[in-house]
Amino acid sequence: MSARGESLATSWVPDAHVANSSDAPKDECGVFGVYSPGEDVARIAYFGLFALQHRGQESAGIATANGERIKAHAAMGLVTQVFDEQLLRDLGGAHIALGHTRYSTTGASDICNAQPIVRSSSVGDLAVAHNGNLVNAHVLRNRLEREGVEFQSTSDSEVIAVMLARAMNGSIESALKEVLPQLKGAYSLGIMTPTQLIAVRDPHGVRPLCVGQIGPNRYVVSSESCAVGVVGAHFIREVEPGEAIIIDADGLREAQIVPLQRHAVCLFEFIYFARPDSHIYSQTIYDTRKRMGHELAQEHPAEADVVIPIPDSAVPAALGYSEASGIRFAEGLVKNRYIQRTFIDPDQRMRDLGARMKYSPLTNMIAGRRVVMVDDSIVRGTTTDKLVRMLIDAGAREVHVRITSPPARFPCFYGIDMAKQEDLIAANYSVDEIRQRIGATSLGYLSLPAVIRAVRKPGSLFCRACFDGHYPIEIPGDVRLQKMMLERARANGQRGSDGSSGTES
């Protein structure tokens, strides 16, 4: 925490055990900011983060600014666990707020990595919230440590915050122009000074970021458009790659900080990460996923009696598969929506039953029937077999697994937690071998061309590296980034702090 930044009593909650039986990839984070003088901006940010909870469940934080100083509170847990009425009141008296909800993709799941990060500069405090991953974070951090910087976290996000704070000389634009060209990788940033709210996107636009208006000279910035409407704002547009949106007392202005390299929005945002009511590239995620189901039925038909989704992200695709195939849609699995995070450590037997803790079969929809089970992805293959077994135990005669993404064969270095190729089941086994391992009657993945057809935009606009191995941002040969890279660097004796407070994406 900065010397000038005012930290509320940052409550510490023990690392939670995430009862997550889904085999889907785990995503980065959610960023939400609001500039609205005269309103309860901390409360608006709270509800904005609540709408972005799907993007990260490890920690949450909100910082507020009143024109002179920045207050902040962050802790481990869900948004509803981190904040209560008293904390929101303590963050009041402000006209700007910046919030963050985190899933760790660089740096441990620890309070020291919770965001927003607040740092002091020569002209005042600065808060940063980050979604994405830098591929040159270790290089930048090593240089800063040699220059005497002591870090409080083990994340790449603090590197960004430190660099911006050091470059601040009264103009956020000049600081951005100095720092952003040095950053390599994916970054969608919310930045706050005591008087300004800024939204910044990397020159490839890997992670989404948008801006909305809540009233005259009152604006919000958000990782996804779904959170814009939740707080009563209307969507204006997406932040362009390499662009900064700067909001202050003079209104909203735009600045192209880094030249556009090429559009490379993560394709997994459409397949899984983004909420179905969000828009990216002017495409509704719900409609796109439904078209993926249409394409899946064409590429991988099945002789079956019922189509069921794995809730929730696969529901639109299962509806699309049902429409295109003529096979009846049914909700064959009921999701326990309150088990995603628990502070009670399950014993080994309950961990082994993880899928059954999260889903319950509707036996009357499954027993005696040939089932098409639609899901969005198989990454590690650790739970799909349990879901198939659950359906068979519920009486399914056959289970035909249909996946709305291509096989994920390559690691992601831009903010998805699948950085080890050896952990990716499709990188090590053929489709039929995967089918045998998960116990399915048949298995079909949607092809990459079919996904692109469903999105209805040219394939050149997307990052598809986890599917085809073509990385839009060069990955340094000495990196092949791992989630705990900065943790290991510190353990190996590099100069740094004891890891007390900070962030990531």
Alpha-carbon separation of residue 99 from 45, 120, 159, 176, 383 (angstroms):
6, 18, 18, 20, 32
- The residue type found at 154 is T
Catalytic residue annotation? 29
C-alpha to C-alpha distance for 9 and 64, rounded to whole angstroms: 14
pLDDT digits (tens, 9 = 90+) for 253-303: 999 999 998 899 999 999 999 999 999 999 999 999 999 999 999 999 999
Asked whether the predicted pLDDT for residue 419 surpasses 90, the reply is no
Domain total of the chain: 2
Q: Is there a single domain that holds both residue 371 and residue 452?
A: yes
Selection from 295, 461, 466, 315 nearest residue 380 by Cα: 466
pLDDT confidence of residue 447: 98
For residues 118 and 466, give the distance between their C-alpha atoms in angstroms, rounded to a whole number: 33
21 found inside a domain: no
Model confidence at 27, pLDDT cuts 50, 70, 90, reads low
58 & 156 share domain: yes
Residue 347: what are its φ and ψ, rounded to 5°? -75, 175
Q: Do 124 and 155 sit in the same domain of this protein?
A: yes
Task: Report residue 500 as tokens.
Answer: 């007390």
19 belongs to a structural domain: no
Domain check: are 202 and 90 in the same one?
yes
Residue 12 inside a domain? The answer is: no
Q: For residue 402, give the nearest of 285, 326, 309, 271 by alpha carbon.
A: 309
- Tell me the CATH number at 453: 3.40.50.2020
Residue 2 domain-assigned (yes or no): no
Confidence of residue 122 (pLDDT cuts 50, 70, 90): confident
CB 321 within 8 A of CB 294: yes
Same domain, 258 and 295: no
What's the CATH number where 172 sits?
3.60.20.10
Q: Is residue 89 part of a domain?
A: yes
- Rama region for 382: left / alpha / beta (φ>0; ψ in -120 to 50; rest): alpha
Residue 4 maps to a domain: no
> Does residue 271 sit within a domain?
no
- The whole domain housing 68 covers 27-264+485-491
Q: What is the 3-state secondary structure (H, E, C) of 377-435?
A: CCCCCCCHHHHHHHHHHCCCCEEEEEECCCCCCCCCCCCECCCCHHHCHHHHCCHHHHH
73 part of a folded domain: yes
260 and 299 inside one domain? no
* Residues 244, 350 share a domain: no
**Taking 90 as the threshold, does the pLDDT of residue 143 lie above it?**
yes
Instruction: State residue 62's pLDDT score.
Output: 98
